[in-house]
Amino acid sequence: MLNCVDLFAGAGGFSLAAKNIGLTVVAAVEFDTHACETYRHNIVGEEGATTLYHKDIRELNPRTIKKAHFHNSTTCDLVLGGPPCQGFSVHRINDAGVDDPRNQLVLRYFEFVRVLKPKAFLMENVPGLLWERHRKFLDKLYEEGKKANYRMFERVLLDARDFGVPQRRKRVFILGVHKDVDFDTSVWPPQATHGDERQRKESPKLLPWVTAEKAKIFRGAPKDDTNDVHMMHTEQLVKVFMETPANGGSRHDSGRTLLCHIGHGGHNDVYGRINPKEPGPTMTTACINPSKGRFVHPVQHHGITVRQAARFQTFPDDYVFKGGLMAAGAQIGNAVPIKLGEVLLRAVAEGLSCGR
């Protein structure tokens, strides 16, 4: 059984995926108070097998974790984590985000790797990390990895819907494996299990993408579910939703034009309805706010609920998000989809097992 540390743990998406495939999450680090409350409730629980450090990772000494959890014969096998990605967001235009101090957290992540010396580490981030404007951070990460004797695998851009997640979601994953550790390179990156009609003709073993309808995203919520809540909208906005065609209708179909959209049309997806016949849109940190994307219920006249957003991320219905509506939405949008996390971590665990 592999021992893991989850950095920038958020609500616990990576940690839950790790636990689901039999890995031990020894410690986790997260700064956001609401995310910590969620993590503590769902991952730490009453058993307390995982130690949660509610700390700013810039102020937490990685040797604190090493001394507390990895001494004598106990080893750190795997470090996980997704450093905050706002500075690398594709929504930033021109050179916005280039000097965002949060970008430095990618390198802070590796400082923990250097001290903990895991057999492998797996980092997640948004596609914007690959943009030329951010190249220095990516190059520095690879440089530091090689200095610390890690085999740095080529970064891979994966879409969650290619692995059975009912959501279009592209993310970058970077794997490093220590040179002293045997690793079966044939398992990385994991091969897609799902695809569209064209892909399935070329590879008959692929399954169809999972749609929101197939995943039953919009089924009833569990009784007394505190996350069965959505934004309250103005009467005017409810009328707009009523005039927006069901199952995929857009803001343009409703005939509504905002002042900010005059002259350029605005973003096509805002105030749009989700089409249940397709994988859902990317769940962002504002996924419960229809003004931020295609986040309106397919037929009802409001934005999606926290529970529905969590289902798009393949969280189980008994996973409770703390902190209120907006905080819960942010936690969900920041998380690694559980099913995708399981695929990735299973591949890494399989690769490491070849040396046993």
> CATH topology for 3-195+335-353?
Rossmann fold (3.40.50)
Is 85 marked active-site? yes
Q: What is the pTM of this model?
A: 0.92
Q: How confident is the model at residue 16 (pLDDT cuts 50, 70, 90)?
A: very high
- Give 21-75 pLDDT, tens digit per residue: 999 999 999 999 999 999 999 999 877 889 999 999 999 999 999 999 998 888 9
pLDDT at position 331: 98
Is residue 260's pLDDT more than 90?
Answer: no
- Give 141-187 pLDDT, tens digit per residue: 999 999 999 999 999 999 999 999 999 999 999 999 999 999 999 99
pLDDT at position 134: 73
Considering the candidates 4, 36, 85, 287, report the single residue annotated as catalytic: 85
pLDDT at position 355: 54
Q: What is the C-alpha to C-alpha distance for residues 62 and 89, in angstroms, rounded to an integer?
A: 27
pLDDT at position 87: 47
Structure tokens at 307: 């529970």
> What residues does each domain of the chain span?
3-195+335-353, 230-304
Least confident of 86-90, 194-198, 330-334: 86-90
Judging by DSSP bridges, how do beta strands 194-195 and 207-208 pair with one another? parallel
**CA within 13 Å, CB half, 299:** 6
